[in-house]
Structure 1
């Protein structure tokens, strides 16, 4: 092992121990890269290699123009439980918020039309939202709704649960659901929303939902920060 690799290992071990003992500020911000380089008497390149390894382990994360932070505990997500985002967070003692980026009618992509079983070039309702856990953005999601079932929904408060809104306003309840999950790199749009570098790793979940009458009603394209999520499924 070369000298720089020895230094990387030493930095990783020291920072891991500091994180474990809660040595950093209340908001979990690490000292600046310059301060850390000085502290470990190393170059910025070697330091960044160590920080990159800790980031890959999910121990720390970087926000563009804000610096490095200790990663909070991951949110546990069981796709088989029909719980919505806010309820899921509350059950785990976490605070959830939802911000609407935009909501409008748009022409759906070929992929979305196929998911919704609609003809090519169909117009759908598109709602883009950013979702936070404990004030940290963790999920960028695009919802595509079949407009036949949700007239007037753009007038509603879309920062709340769509699950609850569907039930209260339209008497529509989720039935069967199909999940597709793949690791991916964040798009420019998703990166900007999540305040991370473009091309950062993510878990991409496509969810296609049917209602109690087995009609395909909507599909969600979810981009999760890879270090924010723990998939936990138990099948009987």
Structure 2
């Protein structure tokens, strides 16, 4: 009896994975409710959720709070060597991008931001919090921190658009040297709420520290991607 639950979990995982691979469960499609799935596989909700959790860890399915389980759509290719921005990157891959502004205000700079932007203690920065979607699916929570000396009045502009384009059009500022730091992480409560998942869900944290064409540190981004939303793909030229 003790071996029955693990065998059932394996059987559920195999069955759902095969359905996904053969297109019977379409990418982006919603799975039946947990109650129906547990009845279908003649098992308990606890055993079913263990199987669903394993498939989620593999990036095959994902869960949204109060909405249920879905088949994960194809991952985006993320190449840090290519000069681009979110909307352009997504559109170039035949997908539909959109951005929601969660908040935009002047705040005291947290210690990490002071270090990233080489600011003195008790500095103020513009903080812009945004949630970003691909084909209407929430995939990215990002906190932008801007040195206000370079972007006067920016909070009065449309912040759903690309900041890269806004910088260029309104301030004549273009990105120069950029540093990326990538690390697997667990979503903190603000990021989890924005992405409609449980706190502690796996994610990829990307910290971007950006200089402009004159070498000035102008802003930094703290990005939190759903772990199944992107794949980092880099091709180094000869």
Q: Which TM class, normalised by the smaller chain length?
A: over 0.9
Q: In structure 1, list runs of 5 or more residues that go unmatched.
A: none
Q: CA deviation at 1:63?
A: 0.6
Q: Distance in 2 between matches of 1:7 and 1:61?
A: 20
The alpha carbon displacement at 1:7 in A equals: 1.1
User: 1:20: Cα distance to partner?
Assistant: 2.0
Distance 1:27 1:6 in 2: 27
Matches of 1:13 and 1:88 in 2, distance apart?
A: 33
What is residue 157 of structure 2 aligned with on the other side?
156
Could you tell me which residue of structure 2 aligns to residue 229 of structure 1?
230
**Quick check: 2:27–2:72 contact (8 Å CA) kept in 1?**
no
Give the whole-Å Cα distance in 2 for the aligned partners of 1:27 and 1:187.
25
> Which residue number corresponds to residue 209 of structure 1?
210
Give the TM-score, by structure 2 length. Answer: 0.96
Shifted more, 15-24 versus 119-128: the winner is 15-24
Q: Is the 8 A contact 1:110 1:121 kept in 2?
A: no
SS at structure 1 position matched to 2:9: helix
What is the DSSP-based 3-state SS (H/G/I as helix, E as strand, rest coil) of the residue aligned with 2:18?
helix
Determine whether 1:121 maps to 2:122.
yes
Provide the C-alpha distance between the structure 2 equivalents of 1:220 and 1:22, rounded to a whole number of angstroms: 37
CA RMSD of aligned residues (A): 1.2
Answer yes or no: is the 8 Å Cα contact 2:103–2:128 preserved in 1: yes
Give 1:39 shift. 0.3
Structure 1 CA distance for aligned equivalents of residues 218 and 122 of structure 2: 17
Q: Does 2:176 correspond to 1:184?
A: no
Distance 2:79 2:113 in 1: 24
Identify which range, 176-185 or 21-30, moves more after superposition.
Answer: 21-30
Distance 1:6 1:25 in 2: 26
Show the counterpart of 1:91: 92
Structure 1 stretches of 4+ moved >6 Å? none
Q: Is the counterpart of residue 73 in structure 1 residue 74 in structure 2?
A: yes
Shift of 1:176: 0.2
Secondary structure at 1:149's aligned position in 2? coil
Per-residue CA distance 1:118-171 (angstroms, 9 max, x = gap): 101100111000000000010000000000100011111100000001001101
Residues in 1 aligned to 2:27 and 2:52: alpha-carbon distance in whole angstroms: 20
Confirm or deny: 8 A CA contact 1:184 1:201 kept in the other structure: yes
Stretches of structure 2 that go unaligned for 5 or more consecutive residues are none
Paired residues of 2:27 and 2:71 also in contact (CA < 8 A):
no
Greater shift, 167-176 or 20-29, is seen at 20-29
TM-score (norm 1): 0.97
Q: Quote the offset at 1:27 in angstroms.
A: 5.0
Q: Which residue of 2 aligns with 1:168?
A: 169
In the other structure, the counterpart of 2:34 is 33
Deviation of the 1:22 alpha carbon: 2.7
In structure 2, what is the equivalent of residue 50 of structure 1? 51
